[in-house]
Amino acid sequence: MHPQNIAIIDYTYSLPEEKIAAFPLADRDASKLLVYKNGNMQQHLYKNIADCLPAESLLVFNNTKVIPARILFQKSTGGIIEIFCLEPYEANKDYTSIMSKKESVRWKCMIGGAGKWKQGPLVKKFTADVIAVELQARLVEKLSDAYVVELSWQPAGMSFAEVIACMGEIPLPPYIKRKAENSDTERYQTIYAAHDGSVAAPTAGLHFTDHVFTSLKEKNIQTAFVTLHVGAGTFKPVKAGTMQQHEMHAEWLDVTAGLLKELIKNADNTIIAVGTTSLRTLESLYWMGVKTILFPEIAAEELGVRQWEVYEHPLAGVSITASAALQALLQWMNKNNHKNLVAKTQILIAPGYKFKIIKALVTNFHQPQSTLLLLVAAAIGNNWKSMYDYALQNNFRFLSYGDGSLIFINQF
């Protein structure tokens, strides 16, 4: 069955409010870990995850960094308007350059209380290290699903990253029914976060500590990093009856040639994605490599993976190995003088998808009727139901600040 015909009602379960973790545990790696393999399930702790992994494995993490993307402006009348920065609205999608911009920048935003914003710019003032900072927001354009907002500031010598560090708040997911606290600035961030750009954390990585990384190294388990900036679309509910009417959110990935070389070297080993964003990145790289084989002169802007593309001609049914696809992509990068590959992926991984690179996944427990739950079902079929039942019955904590799982993918 084509994934377009999947009825989302078949991917639901009852999630009591008390099972949703409102706060993280005191120790990151004290979270419980459900290990699923060939239909069998066992309980472990994240601090012992190395014991659950084959030696010579390669774990791939997403090293994106959550930005304080929620900015609250107070009008002179006392009303609050919230601007939630979703993604840059710039021709150049290099997040490093955008976060380093000075004076002004344009972002695609959601606006809470947009009806109160009648005219003129919004102004917010702050003091950072005894320096008075003034931020202005100007409404530029209304899009079908968001707004374009120009943010400008004084002193103009500050970078945008510095400005929002002063002005913004960490954007906790909508299902965490509380305001962000100071502790969330650290805890809603992986310890290896490096590149500003996400408005949601790659939560599978929140459980990893220096102790865990040391234990992985002692077992000769390799680690590598990709960058995919997580957008608010990761929480976008599936409201359509079938997936054909659902538009998958798109996100920007950024990987190095060195990462491709690591994947090629480990193609015969167990490659494990830490988080669904890492998985979507790595599987997208395979299809980008296939495109460079089928279309050797393909332009960079055509490399991106669209929602249904991998299920349809000419990509569907290709029998190209992961190594061959990744080698081709690396050669394309070299030929076109790309040290980094920056591209958009909208890939929707659902039952019927055949995994090309990944053999296991570390991930938290996801919301009912979500595209993330479809991804889990693509990995283990209908066994997702028994796995989630097991987690509920054994008091696992759900969603972003909750416990997690290590899923070895079934080969159907």
> What are the tens digits of pLDDT across the range 164-207?
998 899 999 999 999 999 999 999 999 999 999 999 999 999 99
pLDDT given for residue 127 in this prediction: 86
Strand partners, 84: 70, 110
- Per residue in 219-239, pLDDT (tens digit) is 999 999 999 999 877 877 898
Collapsing DSSP states into helix, strand and coil, what is residue 118? coil
pLDDT of residue 236: 79
pLDDT at 412 over 70: no
Task: Say if residue 288's pLDDT is above 60.
Answer: yes
Residue 303: predicted pLDDT? 96
Q: Is the confidence at residue 361, as pLDDT, over 70?
A: yes
The pLDDT score that the predictor gives to residue 79 is 85
pLDDT-derived band at 211 (thresholds 50, 70, 90) equals very high
- Identify the pLDDT of residue 411: 64
> How much of the chain exceeds pLDDT 70, in percent?
99
Cα 234 to Cα 374: distance, rounded to the nearest angstrom = 13
Model confidence pLDDT, tens digit, residues 343-358: 999 999 999 999 999 9
- pTM, whole model, 2 decimals? 0.94
The DSSP call for residue 305 is B
> What is the spatial distance between Cα 354 and Cα 352, in angstroms, rounded to a whole number?
6
* Residue 250, pLDDT above cutoff 60: yes
For 17-43, what is the mean pLDDT?
A: 97
Structural element, H or E, at residue 127: strand 122-128
Domain boundaries, the chain: 3-65+189-408, 69-168
Fold observed for domain 3-65+189-408 = QueA-like (3.40.1780)
- What integer pLDDT is reported at residue 340 of this predicted model? 93
pLDDT of residue 398: 98
Contact 21, 397 (CB under 8 A): yes
- Number of Cβ within a 10 Å radius of residue 215: 18
Residues 41-74: pLDDT tens digits? 999 999 999 999 999 999 999 999 999 999 999 8
Task: Check: CB of residue 60 under 8 Å from CB of residue 404.
Answer: no
Residue 9 has pLDDT above 90, yes or no: yes
For 108-140, write each residue's pLDDT tens digit: 999 998 888 887 899 999 887 788 999 999 999
For residue 339, the model assigns a pLDDT of 92
pLDDT at 364 over 70: yes
The tokens describing 128, both together, are 């950072």
